[in-house]
Amino acid sequence: MTSDNTSINGEKRSRKRGDTPLLAAVAVTLLLSVAVIRDVRRDVVPRESHPKVDIEKVLKLIDRGSLSGREADYWEEALKP
């Protein structure tokens, strides 16, 4: 949408009363679309992103027995430093 309010045949047209609500509706729609897209993107955890654990908390929970720490069977040391 442009700010030009000149019609194709060069006639100057006055701003219609309905334009402002229309613009507001378009703006709100765009904002909502962005919000929805952001929400959808948040759903998928990026593969590279592995959240840090509160390791002290986890170790305490393991000690208390509310979690059971056991070495996993399928893993290897990664090559990258």
Residues that bind another protein (CB under 8 A): 39, 43-45, 47, 50-53, 55, 57-59, 61-62, 65-78, 80-81
Min separation Cβ 51 and another protein, Å: 5
Q: Residue 28 CB, nearest distance to another protein (Å)?
A: 17
Of 21 and 51, CB closest to another protein: 51
Contact criterion met (CB below 8 Å) for 58 and 67: yes
Shortest distance, CB of residue 33 to another protein, whole angstroms?
14
Can you spell out the DSSP letters for 29-50?
HHHHHHHHHHHHHHHSPPTT--
Give the DSSP letter of residue 12.
Answer: B
13, 7 in Cβ contact below 8 A?
yes
